[in-house]
Structure 1
Amino acid sequence: MKMRSFRAMGTDVQIAIHARACHSESMVEQVLDKVVGMVHDMEQRLSRFHPTSDICRINRGRGQWVEIHPATFEVLRLAREAFLWTDGLFHPCLGAVLEHMGYDVSFDRRREPNEAPVVHVHPVISARCPYELSPDGRHCRVDPGFQLDVGGIGKGWIVEQCAGVLRDSGFEDFVVNAGGDAVCEGRNGERPWLVGIEDPFSRTQHALTLTLDSLSLATSGTYKRRWTHHGKTVHHLIDPRTGQPSSSDIVSCTVVHPSLVAAEVMAKTCLLLGSVEGIAWLSSRAQRGWVVVKNTGEVMHAWNS
């Protein structure tokens, strides 16, 4: 098996490939180099922390049409669909809230929190998405008072693009994993891929282990990206109904789905809704399985064949 690990998008990225006899060592290395370069290029376009990124330029030009790369347009199109599908619970315009809570640089670089007052977003549930996309597929305009942050869905989309490059290069059995958002293509030799779901209360153990065969999974959790703001511990998963970090009883939610972007949207939405509403919401929608870890330590899960 050929492995490649690197740091990008504020997390550890791992690629594992079961190469076949027809794949030379140099060919595998060239494809891996291409994938790594693509990840960094896409991160530069989609990150709200890179001043020249499309997202930063849109945020600086609030209320104006800004020309963007087609890849950025596609991510924003998917994020807008997710906003509408979840009645605004999946909200891609909470960058200002995170910034005023001290998450104004990538988490790797964050030092002391910014003690500016916490801002609250406008009520958005069942309201219009606060940005527009042009019919030409090249421009975006965000409403004044909002800032785009497509970190989660952007990461999932980038991982899916990496998987597409590997498929187009003739690889049939591989994993691309970015901080718990993973595409597991084909099989690990004669067996399915074995994926451990991290236990938020014991980093050395797994809450559950899943076997995946050509499926994707995404995890949203409140236990990793945490910091202190005005003497209070906060995290990065903002509930758009309150403008505050989620206080639901779910600490971690993992969703298995053929589409990694869909899994990302579903995992975050379930977490924000809490175990009762969230699991009911998940169960009424097409997915292959889910794992929920509650703040009591209870692990709940289901698998749909």
Structure 2
Amino acid sequence: MSRLPTVERPLRPMLGVMRPEVWAFPATGATWSILSRAPLPRRARRSVMALVEGFEGVWSRFRADSLISRAADGRLGSGPIRLELPEGSGAMLDLYDRLHVATGGRIDPLVGADLVALGYDPACTFTVHAGSMTGPGPRARGRWGALARHEGDALILDRPALVDVGAIGKGFLADLVGALLLESGVEDFVIDASGDVLVHADGPVRIGLEDPAVSTDGADSARAVGVVEIARGAVAGSGISRRAWGDGLHHILDGLTGRPSARVTAAWAIAETCALADGLSTALFLTAPGELAASGLRFECAILSADGSAEVSRGLPGSLFTA
């Protein structure tokens, strides 16, 4: 299983008096963990790992054998290319459509080509291609909705193109894992998908918001800059201190320019599903929260800006700490 260079963990579940069982496992190039009141049944664990493997076999751009990798390098033809995706995949693509429109095109799954050009390639070389910071960017690789579109669970590419679902995919997979646990009879759990947290508990769970200025790969040494509490729903966070490899180079790109966003340093979103929270935590780097809310998206959020200011939505179930 391919590994990403760092693990983004701007969230930390703290279950208080609940003494949870913890099962950790590799997924999406990071370490996930599921906290539950009792050990997960062996059958449920096997089902989770099969789900993860199936998801990565379709969507991982770090695996040469994945469906999207084969579609990107021409192994599935020169186009049009029709990808028949697993049942339910259309829900994730629908959410990408909504965020693409809500952000004016700044959320775009076709930024995979830009990430590769900037050095965040499957081999993690971090070698910036010549001209990638000044070249044509989106005009060369095409845009979501034009080059790529979907019909239900089928994705159609006019020509080979690299699709990157990093803005939503991890949260969407966490939702799938949560649904699987419920089907297995597990009612109280927290899924910590390495920065995206899905909570289904009978009482509030406290989740720390990690300070992006001091975070390190040793997760236990990070300090929190805030806390939220939820019993049902999801919290997701994104920050530029993780998956960063040079001056101004990080994994959160503006789909209109193909360049890293510079306005925000960290953002957290609270929403009904982990997929939506995941997508919004990225969208908040690119679009003002009021504009996202005006599009009909429902969420709460906290944002740390590059100028040192902070913004918290009125209904946030928690707060950022103040000096």
From 265, 268, 285, the equivalent of 1:271 is: 285
Find the aligned partners of 2:149 and 2:293 in 1 and give their Cα distance: 31
1:91 aligns with 2:101: no
Q: Residue 227 of structure 1 aligns to a residue in which SS?
A: strand
TM-superposed CA distance for 1:117, in Å, is 3.1
Which structure 2 residues correspond to residues 1-305 of structure 1 after superposition, within 5 A?
A: 1-19=20-38, 28-61=41-74, 63-71=79-87, 73-74=89-90, 75-105=92-122, 110-118=124-132, 119=135, 120-122=137-139, 128-134=145-151, 137-138=153-154, 140-144=155-159, 146-187=161-202, 191-203=203-215, 204-228=222-246, 232-248=247-263, 250-273=264-287, 278-284=288-294, 285-304=296-315
| Per-residue CA distance 1:248-269 (angstroms, 9 max, x = gap) | 1x11111101122222222212
Find the aligned partners of 1:8 and 1:18 in 2 and give their Cα distance: 22
* Number of residue pairs aligned between Structure 1 and Structure 2: 283
Instruction: Give the partner amino acid of 2:211.
Output: D
Identity %: 24
Question: What is the aligned partner in structure 1 of residue 321 from structure 2?
Answer: none
Find the aligned partners of 1:291 and 1:2 in 2 and give their Cα distance: 30
Alpha-carbon RMSD across the aligned residues, in angstroms, is 2.7
TM-superposed CA distance for 1:173, in Å, is 1.1
| Per-residue CA distance 1:210-261 (angstroms, 9 max, x = gap) | 1111011111222211113xxx44111111222211121x111111011222
Q: Are the counterparts in 2 of residues 254 and 291 from structure 1 also a CA contact under 8 Å?
A: yes
Instruction: Give the partner amino acid of 1:53.
Output: S
Distance 1:112 1:122, change over 3 A: closer
Instruction: Give the partner amino acid of 2:35.
Output: A
Find the aligned partners of 1:86 and 1:299 in 2 and give their Cα distance: 21
Q: Residue 93 of structure 1 aligns to a residue in which SS?
A: helix
Instruction: Give the partner amino acid of 2:300.
Output: G
Instruction: Give the partner amino acid of 2:196.
Output: D
Q: Are the counterparts in 2 of residues 88 and 129 from structure 1 also a CA contact under 8 Å?
A: no
4+ residue runs of structure 1 moved beyond 6 angstroms?
123-127
Instruction: Give the partner amino acid of 2:115.
Output: L
Q: Are the counterparts in 1 of residues 174 and 191 from structure 2 also a CA contact under 8 Å?
A: yes
**Bigger RCO (CA 8 Å, 6+ sep):** 2
| Per-residue CA distance 1:262-295 (angstroms, 9 max, x = gap) | 222222122113xxxx132245455342111122
> Normalising by the residue count of structure 1, what TM-score does the alignment of the two structures yield?
0.82
Find the aligned partners of 2:58 and 2:142 in 1 and give their Cα distance: 28
TM-superposed CA distance for 1:52, in Å, is 2.0
Q: Are the counterparts in 2 of residues 45 and 72 from structure 1 also a CA contact under 8 Å?
A: no
Distance 1:300 1:125, change over 3 A: farther
TM-superposed CA distance for 1:196, in Å, is 0.5
